[in-house]
Amino acid sequence: MKDLGDIDYAVFPIELGALSYRTCFISPRYQQSLNKVKTLTELREKRHATGIERSFTALPPAPILFVHKSNQTLKNRLEQGLKLAFADGSLKKLWDQHFLDSIKFSAIKPRTLYSIKNKRIRKINRDYEQYLLPITDYY
């Protein structure tokens, strides 16, 4: 992009579908703000300088999938699929593939663990708890 100096906006032609609005405005200040966004890797490198609480971890209940009560077909399909994935170990493998780096980053072992209650899910069937992965698996 060319140096735009002190102007507030750059104008360039663009066609926006049926609207045929042919001019779009980009603010150099907006472009500069995008360049200041930090990547997760950059944040991890500087994590000791950030204010992450290291003495405790709050553990919310589940993960729970909410499905509208009228969609029993979807509910049954999800339930059956999750049970099969848990039984053959593919659920844990998929979980670790997507979340293990974040769990390791959080350094759970030296923390005090607090379980959080959710009054909105108090009345649901708690059979799902047998499928929860123990947090101690990640020490």
Q: 61-118: per-residue pLDDT in tens? A: 766 677 888 999 999 999 899 899 999 999 889 988 988 888 888 787 888 888 777 7
Which of 19-33, 68-82, 119-133 is most confident? Answer: 68-82
21 and 47 both lie in a single domain: no
Judgement on whether residues 62 and 99 belong to the same structural domain of the protein: yes
Whether residue 75 is found in the same domain as residue 130: yes
User: Do 28 and 1 sit in the same domain of this protein?
Assistant: yes
Mark whether 52 and 118 lie in a shared domain: yes
Eight-class DSSP state of 26: E
Asked if residue 56 and residue 30 are part of one domain, the reply reads no
What pLDDT sits at residue 16?
47
Strand pairing partners for 25?
A: 11
Tell me, yes or no, whether 67 and 11 share the same domain: no
How far apart CA 26 and CA 19 sit, in angstroms, is 19
**How does residue 11 score in pLDDT terms, banded at 50, 70 and 90?**
very low
Please name the residue that has the structure tokens 């579908």. 17
Structural domain boundaries, residue 27: 1-37
Residue 38 has pLDDT above 70, yes or no: no
Q: How many whole angstroms separate alpha carbon 24 and alpha carbon 97?
A: 41
Residue 105: the pLDDT is: 80
If asked whether residues 12 and 49 sit together in one domain, one would say no
Number of domains in the chain: 2
Same domain, 53 and 8: no
